[in-house]
Amino acid sequence: MDNGELCYQRYINGDDEGLVEIIRDYKDGLLLYLYGITGNIGLSEEYAEETFFKLAVKKPAFRGKSSFKTWLYTIGRNAAIDGMRKNSRISDIPLEEYTDIYDESDIEADLLKEEQRLHLHRAMKNLSSDYRQVLYLTFFEDFSIDETANIMKKNKKQVNNLLYRAKQSLKASLEKGGFSYEEL
């Protein structure tokens, strides 16, 4: 059992602090993942809240067929897709407007890192939703191919193909802008 599963079990058994710990541990990653789907930070927050609300009120059964994080992200993805179908609204407010720049001793290195990160976010924003999702889940959240396939409701071959095409597309976009990332 991972920590999320233990916290959820505690919550189901009446300890409200379990849900607080789940929200604290998974909120940021879920928000960024949902941003990759919606392209709107406000909608991402709304769908993340809806995800945690479902846990709190409906208390769906966690059957252990995947990791707790995979299960939670799947609930979040479904909430986002359902909400977007209902509302059919996506804003084009860039993620860069919501990021904080923090101070460290080497300002020049920080600025270069920030510029590269912003360029990466811009390049990813131009990718299709499936490409953004597969890249985010595998590289930023370190989900395995199996877990990513489970969250995206695709088979492993589809996820591998999506990942390959997404990396190629992202690499081409970054190289057009004068950046290259060796990990791609």
- pLDDT by residue (tens digit) across 102-141? 433 445 555 566 667 777 777 888 889 899 999 889 988 8
**Listed residues 58, 87, 116: the one ending a domain:** 87
Whether residues 33 and 67 share a domain: the answer is yes
Nearest to 173 by CA among 124, 111, 106: 124
Q: Which residue has the tokens 């976010």?
A: 121
Count of domains forming the chain: 2
**Listed residues 87, 107, 142: the one ending a domain:** 87
For residue 111, give its domain range: 96-176
- pLDDT-derived band at 96 (thresholds 50, 70, 90) equals very low
List, for residues 155-164, the tens digit of each pLDDT value.
999 999 999 9
Q: Residue 104: its pLDDT value, please?
A: 38
- pLDDT-derived band at 168 (thresholds 50, 70, 90) equals very high
Whether residues 81 and 103 share a domain: the answer is no
Whether residues 75 and 110 share a domain: the answer is no
- pLDDT-derived band at 183 (thresholds 50, 70, 90) equals very low
Average pLDDT over residues 72-97: 73
Q: Is residue 14 part of a domain?
A: yes
Contacts of 57 (CB under 8 A, 6+ apart): none
**Listed residues 87, 117, 137: the one ending a domain:** 87
Whether residues 166 and 115 share a domain: the answer is yes
Q: Is residue 129 part of a domain?
A: yes
Average pLDDT in the chain: 82
List phi, psi (to 5°) of 118.
-65, -40
Whether residues 107 and 72 share a domain: the answer is no
Whether residues 74 and 103 share a domain: the answer is no
- Specify the CATH number for the domain of residue 23: 1.10.1740.10
* 97 DSSP assignment: G
Q: Residue 179: its pLDDT value, please?
A: 63
